[in-house]
Amino acid sequence: MLLTVARIGRPHGLRGEVALDVRTDVPADRLVVGARFATEPADAGPLEVAQVRDAQGRWYVTFAQVADRTAAEALRGVALVVESDDDEHDDDGWYPHELVGLRAEHASDGRVLGEVVGLEHLPAHDVLVLREPDGARTLVPFVEAIVPVVDVTGGRVVLDPPGGLLAADAANLVVSDETRGDASDED
């Protein structure tokens, strides 16, 4: 199975250096001169790190196969991947394929809120892509306060969503407003 180490971002300068969106907890161990990475899409690589630097927590690399800014721009969005070792698997980390298909349950009463259909990596944090029972697609911030339990072996995630996050919440608000309107008409 392939593990994404980083995604190539914008070019930096004219000599082929690129910024990386790092996805590994150990970039100093993975991003070293001479490291070779397979890529997704595969036809963009393999790429070999020729230079690397960390500037205030932001990682920049130059690849041996990239000579200028134009070539660097062509790599934007390419993922650097490595074959994963099962013993590297973190108890608090999950691969996207492990999350897809999990049932989403509400923390307070266990009712089914939908099914996880994907994981997206946004700049602030990852989000679970949830398909609600009515078919609505909802992005749920993948943070412990909202997703306190991930039980891959049990086939579920537990959500404690704030009001208004789910499409079903909006439908309930409409029903509540209509009900409240009917009640005020009777007065």
- In this structure, the answer to whether residues 31 and 62 fall within a common structural domain is yes
Residue 115 lies in a domain: yes
- In this structure, the answer to whether residues 57 and 105 fall within a common structural domain is no
Task: List, in order, residues 6 or more apart from 133 with CB less than 8 Å away.
Answer: 112, 113, 114, 168
CATH at residue 120: 2.30.30.240
35-39, 102-106, 180-184: the lowest-pLDDT one: 180-184
Residue 124 lies in a domain: yes
Task: List, in order, residues 6 or more apart from 50 with CB less than 8 Å away.
Answer: 33, 61, 62, 63, 64
Residue finishing a domain among 39, 54, 85: 85
Q: Tokens for 154?
A: 């049990």
> pLDDT tens digit string along 98-135?
888 999 999 888 889 999 998 887 766 788 999 999 99
- In this structure, the answer to whether residues 77 and 149 fall within a common structural domain is no
Q: How many domains does the chain have?
A: 2
pLDDT, mean of residues 53-70? 89
- In this structure, the answer to whether residues 51 and 102 fall within a common structural domain is no
Which residue in 80, 79, 74, 60 sits closest to 20, CA to CA?
60
Residue finishing a domain among 85, 109, 137: 85
- In this structure, the answer to whether residues 65 and 114 fall within a common structural domain is no
- In this structure, the answer to whether residues 60 and 103 fall within a common structural domain is no
pLDDT averaged over the chain?
82
The predicted pLDDT at position 176 comes to 47
b vs e for 134-168, b when ≥16 Cβ sit within 10 Å of the residue's Cβ?
eeeebebbbeeebbeebeeeeebbbbebeeebbbb
Give me the domain span that covers residue 43: 2-85
CATH at residue 63: 2.40.30.60
146, 160 Cβ separation under 8 angstroms? yes
The predicted pLDDT at position 64 comes to 92
Residue 90 lies in a domain: no
Q: 152 pLDDT exceeds 90?
A: no
> pLDDT tens digit string along 159-176?
998 888 888 776 555 444
Q: pLDDT over 70 for what percent of the chain?
A: 83
The predicted pLDDT at position 132 comes to 92
